[in-house]
Amino acid sequence: MTGEIDWGKLSFTYIKTDYNVRCYYRDGKWGELEISSSESINLHMAATCLHYGQEAFEGLKAFKGKDGKVRIFRMADNAKRMQDTADGILMQRVPDEIFLNACIKAVQLNSRFVPPYESGAALYIRPLLIGSGPKVGVSPADEYLFMVFVTPVGPYFKEGFKCTNLMITRQHDRAAPNGTGPYKVGGNYAASLGSGKIAKEKGYSAVLYLDSREKKYIDECGPANFFGIKNNTYITPESKSILPSITNKSLLQLAQDMGMKTERRQVPLEELETFEEVGACGTAAVISPIGRIDDLDTGKQYLISKNGEPGPTCVKLYNKLRAIQYGDEPDAHGWTTIVSE
């Protein structure tokens, strides 16, 4: 069946794999990991995930190296972030051991779906935590379901590692200043669907959101974090309403390793025109270099890449990150976990 998959042409869509892994929290404790080959779940109609948004997910990737080994990238960081999200919306935390074992099992059980090294594709791992217990009053569930499925993916933005364009609008917010922006909850993505649709219809790959209080600072970049490069410095927004991206944290480290300065601070919109390079970064987006950003409210255009090509720093960061993920270069920071020989 995997013979039908054209690994080099994969986009970011769901492809059925063989197994997923599940674990239930009931009667005050987590149960054993269960393996399932069903794509469905049996859910109470009053489950809190359906009514009150008790839903969190994660996204990470496994990569097959030239050496044939499969590596998962920074999964302990995703486990921690899912725990922070669980705390944020009063769900039961998934213990590290269950999270890590479930991810490893899901990859191992579906090893025939890990794309080959040459394809440049990866196996996307999607952990999911939902309130499964029934409630009618607004309150947290007593029961939870944690599950992990995997699916082979190519680039999130169709351009891959080519310049892509963004739009700015003040008509939509993704998250409120003291809301759920830093948590990976489904509601944030629901809030972004309308503006995301407008962006796609107008030919942009994503919306560059401004801070929702003052609309003065750069915030989140669709399903990715924002970074700008100038004067040998990697600059990324400090904000209470963006997801703490593990890719961004990795790029900050790699930029420092390359001798660059790094800054995490508020980034005023006007600063856009001073950047030599701009990128969106995330597990799905990897690094997506940005060519142009159009402010639809003011009509102003920010032309970042004069020749439509990714800039030299984006290229260096992209190559370095991918080399670590695929095992082409030493993993100096201990970011990868080998899950098969």
- Binding residues for ligand PLP, rule: CB under 6 A, are 59, 220, 223-225, 243, 245-248, 282-283
CA torsion through residues 176, 179, 185, 187, sign: negative
- Environment class of 238 (CB within 10 Å of its CB; exposed 0-12, middle 13-18, buried 19+): exposed
For residues 47 to 86, the per-residue mask of contacts with ligand COI, x marking binding by CB under 6 A and - elsewhere, is: ------------x---------------------------
Q: By C-beta, is 223 or 291 nearer to ligand COI? A: 223
- Of ligand PLP, ligand COI, none, which one does residue 220 interact with (CB within 5 to 8 Å by kind)? ligand PLP
Q: By C-beta, is 248 or 313 nearer to ligand PLP? A: 248
Angle at 138 between CA 98 and CA 94, to 5 degrees: 5
- Of ligand COI, ligand PLP, none, which one does residue 225 interact with (CB within 5 to 8 Å by kind)? ligand PLP
Work out how close the CB of 329 gets to ligand PLP at its nearest, in angstroms, rounded to a whole number. 19
215 part of the active site: no
| Region 261-320 residues binding ligand COI, contact defined as CB under 6 A | 282-284
Q: Please name the residues in contact with 27: beta carbons below 8 A apart, sequence gap of 6 or more.
A: none
Catalytic residue selected from 61, 64, 184, 320: 184
Give the nearest residue (CB) to ligand PLP.
Answer: 282
* Residue 280, number of CB atoms within 10 A of its CB: 28
Work out how close the CB of 226 gets to ligand COI at its nearest, in angstroms, rounded to a whole number. 14
Give all strands (DSSP E) within 48-168, no chain letters.
55-57, 60-64, 70-73, 122-131, 144-153, 164-168
Helix axes 75-88, 96-109, angle to 10 degrees: 130
* H or E element that contains 320: helix 312-325
Work out how close the CB of 129 gets to ligand PLP at its nearest, in angstroms, rounded to a whole number. 15
Residue 223 sits in the site that holds ligand COI (CB under 6 A): yes
- Of ligand COI, ligand PLP, none, which one does residue 53 interact with (CB within 5 to 8 Å by kind)? none
Residue 231: C-alpha distances to residues 177, 218, 262 (Å): 30, 19, 11
Work out how close the CB of 305 gets to ligand COI at its nearest, in angstroms, rounded to a whole number. 23
Q: By C-beta, is 182 or 282 nearer to ligand COI? A: 282
Angle at 172 between CA 171 and CA 176, to 5 degrees: 130
Distance CA 289, CA 286 (A): 10
Distance CA 335, CA 23 (A): 26
Residue 129 sits in the site that holds ligand COI (CB under 6 A): no
The size of the interface with ligand COI (CB under 6 A), counted in residues, is 5
> Could you list the residues that contact ligand COI (CB under 6 A)?
59, 223, 282-284
Which residues are known to be catalytic? Answer: 184
